[in-house]
Structure 1
Amino acid sequence: MLERVICLVTGYLLGSIIQAGYWYGRFKHIDIRKYGSGNAGTTNVMRTLGKKAGMTTYLFDALKPIMCMAIIHFVFGNKNGNELLLMMYGGLGVVLGHNFPFYLNFKGGKGIAATSGIVLGLLFYPTHCWAFAVLGALTFGLVTYFSKYVSLGSLMGIGMWFVEFVIWGCVGWLPLSGSVLYECYGVVFIITLLGFIQHRGNIKRLINGTERKVGQKRTEEVK
């Protein structure tokens, strides 16, 4: 249990401190959370400050869970056969820190870039975990391309990741078994659920047909 707590806290600190969108905005003398959708995530930074700012934000936000997973690998290894579970706890911590940074009144991003970083981190994991990143990129790319909604592509991407993770576990493609496997399902589900919760406003606008499409830009300050 202590190992799980350590991984969760380590992830939270990394996710909080490396708040790329917020610090990029400060470099440009603005609080990015007062513009556009009001969060410090990649999409809002890109719409407000441009593609270079958005890509820089995504790069750093996606690197956070990869860094956390690397730390967990070198500190704990797989001596108890639960390395993947500990990595998911670390990833959950990063998403929580990214979404709710302690020094910014718990107002950060929506966690999609950080979640994608978890999936990318699994590229370096043995067995069939590399497929998560490939399928995730395809899902996000195709849904976003045809719907023109980044939010829909993001939600479909993380939703399918959870489904794929469960399928991989059921067919024996994950290096976990028994109660540890089900615990890992639960952690991945929480990560996915956080993404949907943080996008509840987007989901409402998608249903109402008022969600902004790719190419639309809004930079007015949030009151």
Structure 2
Amino acid sequence: MLKRDIFYILFGYLLGSILFARLGGLLFKQHDVTQDGTDRNPGTMNAFLYGGFWCGVFALCGDLLKGFLPVFLYLNVEPQPAPSLSLSLVMAAPVLGHICPVFCPLHGGKGIAVTFGCLLGLFPQPLPFAFLAGAFLFFTLILRIDPHYYRTLATYFVSALLTVWFVPERCTVFGYLLIAVLVTVKLLLSAEEKARFEVKWAWKH
């Protein structure tokens, strides 16, 4: 593996370890707002819920950016003739950093916003991002799955299948599968209270 590959993998992991929801709480509310929630998840949703609009926007932009930058820079700064397996690891590194940050390994987030950032970094390749966003919208606005815990599991499962079937670049597919596994394991091990599983057409709620 080239030094360049190792640099971007480490860069992605360390950048992913910066928990912008906590930073936003300290900046806008002068305390760690992620501790106010029952699940204490340092993610974008809790930043919005307990820190307010600007804290949420700060966390969302930070989480998107820390996923976007390593992937986009890896592909566009002295790009290699053909992306290799290293791209898969660069894609997964920010999500791993967010889920298992170097500064507090047992207290990371779920990695959802960071996933979107990583997939945006693949620009101009649109399919993985479109599959993830489309699945979230489908299970929210059409065939609604509740609670959010199960909706997220279904979204990653379906978007991973679509990526395997329709994305020809194997390194991109493997990278997304790594991300999906990381997020799924984090969800399965999370201590959040899980309400009863429900699936209904959205207009019947």
Q: Aligned residue for 2:7?
A: 6
180, 188, 201: which one aligns with 2:176: 188
Report the secondary structure of 2:109's partner residue.
Answer: coil
Give unpaired runs (5+ residues) of structure 1. Answer: 175-180, 212-223
Aligned counterparts of 1:104 and 1:188: Cα–Cα separation in 2: 24
* Aligned residue identity for 2:196: G
Quick check: which one's helix share is greater?
1
Equivalent pair of 1:32/1:39 in contact (CA under 8 Å) = no
Amino acid aligned to 2:164 = V
Give the secondary structure class of the aligned counterpart of 1:147.
strand
1:209 — aligned with what? 196
TM-score, normalised relative to structure 2: 0.79
Structure 2, unaligned stretches of length 5 or more? 199-205
Asked if the contact 1:11/1:94 (under 8 Å) is kept, the reply is yes
Partners in 2 of 1:137 and 1:97 — Cα distance? Answer: 22
Q: Is the 8 A contact 1:11 1:93 kept in 2?
A: yes
Asked if the contact 2:88–2:174 (Cα under 8 Å) also holds between the matched residues in 1, the reply is: no
- Provide the residue aligned with 1:158 in structure 2: 156
Q: Secondary structure at the match of 1:101?
A: coil
TM-fit CA distance, 1:38: 0.9
Distance (whole Å) between structure 2 residues aligned to residue 103 and residue 135 of structure 1: 32
Q: Percent of aligned positions with the same letter in both sequences?
A: 25
Distance of aligned partners of 1:205 and 1:107 in 2 relative to their CA distance in 1, 3 Å threshold? closer
Deviation of 1:49 after TM superposition, in Å, equals 1.9
Asked if 1:25 corresponds to 2:25, the answer is yes
Measured on the aligned residues, the alpha-carbon RMSD in Å equals 2.7
Alpha-carbon distance change, 120 to 54 in structure 1, aligned in 2, over 3 angstroms? same
Verify: 1:143 aligned to 2:174, yes or no.
Answer: no
1:36-75 matches, cutoff 5 A: 36=37, 37-75=39-77
2:185 aligned counterpart, secondary structure: helix
> How many Å apart are 1:156 and its aligned residue?
2.7
TM-score normalized with structure 1 length: 0.73
Displacement of 1:186 after TM fit? 4.1
Cα offsets for 1:77-113 (capped at 9, x unmatched): 032x126x43332221111111222223552211111
| Corresponding residue number in structure 1 for 2:201 | none
Equivalent position SS for 1:29 = coil
Does residue 130 (structure 1) correspond to residue 109 (structure 2)? The answer is no
**Residue 160 of structure 1: CA displacement?**
2.5
- With over 3 angstroms needed to count, the CA separation of the structure-2 counterparts of 1:210 and 1:165, relative to structure 1, is closer
**Count of equivalent residues:** 193
Corresponding residue for residue 87 of structure 2? 87
Equivalent position amino acid for 1:107 in 2: H
Aligned position for 1:199: 187
Task: Letter of the 2:10 partner, please give it.
Answer: V
